[in-house]
Amino acid sequence: AQSVAQPEDQVNVAEGNPLTVKCTYSVSGNPYLFWYVQYPNRGLQFLLKYITGDNLVKGSYGFEAEFNKSQTSFHLKKPSALVSDSALYFCAVDYKLSFGAGTTVTVRA
Amino acid sequence: EAGVAQSPRYKIIEKRQSVAFWCNPISGHATLYWYQQILGQGPKLLIQFQNNGVVDDSQLPKDRFSAERLKGVDSTLKIQPAKLEDSAVYLCASSLGGGGPDTQYFGPGTRLTVL
């Protein structure tokens, strides 16, 4: 069965600092990996996906993610976090989207 | 381009009552999904349609949940009778459905509270 794990319930960073949200996956075969963000009282918004090719994927709002096959990871990163990045972030695998439990990101001014 | 539309946004019912949610996908999207998101958890897929046919309903509690997409466009998800544990946000998503790992686009969701 396809699954992802987000080991951190919460991530707190100061504005302007790098932001990393961790995700590890377990799949049989080649993984399709996604990141979504959810703001309060809103649906999920697509950030980026990895299907094949370059291990570094660039997405919306300055986010990027690095696919690491040996570590079965797909961590989300942003070089300089903004207060407006505060939200709930979900990693997902497979095109039927098996989601992780989510990581709450808080960026303090 | 209009996004995925859902209604109502909020619904409060008592247990054993019935409820229905409506979703209108992005125009031209062949694939439609319904997810259940319980507070503190990631969304869980309930059912996937390709046009007006069901592709996957393996996680749909069929004794009380039903869904249809009769004309291959909008869709309705029904719960009858509702239980307390059905309290959740119900998310609809759509994708082009050309095969492979399409990006799914989500609606704002319907928050259901069962008392």
Local confidence band at A1 (pLDDT 50, 70, 90 cut-offs): confident
Q: What is the mean pLDDT of residues B100-112?
A: 91
Q: Mean pLDDT throughout B72-81?
A: 95
Whether the CB-CB separation of B49 and B75 falls below 8 Å is answered with yes
Please judge whether A43 and B43 are an interchain contact, meaning their C-beta atoms are less than 8 angstroms apart: no
Strands A103-108 and A10-14: parallel
Q: Which residues contact A59 (CB under 8 A, 6 or more apart)?
A: A35, A46, A47, A48, A49, A65
Is the CB of A92 less than 8 angstroms away from the CB of B56? no
Probe site for chain B from A96, A98, A104 (most B CB atoms < 10 A): A96
**Domain B5-95 belongs to what topology?**
Immunoglobulin-like (2.60.40)
Residue B1, pLDDT score:
65
Contact B101 A102 (CB under 8 A): no
Convert the pLDDT of each residue in B17-52 to its tens digit: 999 999 999 999 999 999 999 998 999 999 999 998
Q: How far is B72 from chain A (nearest CA, A)?
A: 19
Range B9-20 average pLDDT: 97
Tell me the domains of chain A and their CATH numbers. Answer: 3-108 (2.60.40.10)
Contact B102, B96 (CB under 8 A): yes
Q: B101 and A51: CB-CB below 8 Å?
A: yes
Q: How far apart are CA B11 and CA B77, in angstroms?
A: 13
pLDDT for res A69: 93
Place of tokens 């050309």: B98
Rounded to the nearest 5 percent, the helix, strand and coil shares of chain A are 5, 50, 45
Q: How far is CA A53 from CA A37, A57, B39, B56, B75, in A?
A: 23, 9, 35, 29, 35
Minimal CA separation from A105 to chain B, in Å: 14
pLDDT tens readout for residues B87-101: 999 999 999 986 677
Q: pLDDT by residue (tens digit) across B57-66?
A: 999 999 999 9
Is the model's pLDDT at A95 over the cut of 80? no
Residues 6+ apart with CB under 8 A from B87: B38, B39, B112, B113, B114
Which residues 57-86 of B are in CB contact (within 8 Å) with A? none
Q: Would you say B68 and B90 are in contact if contact means Cβ atoms under 8 Å apart?
A: no
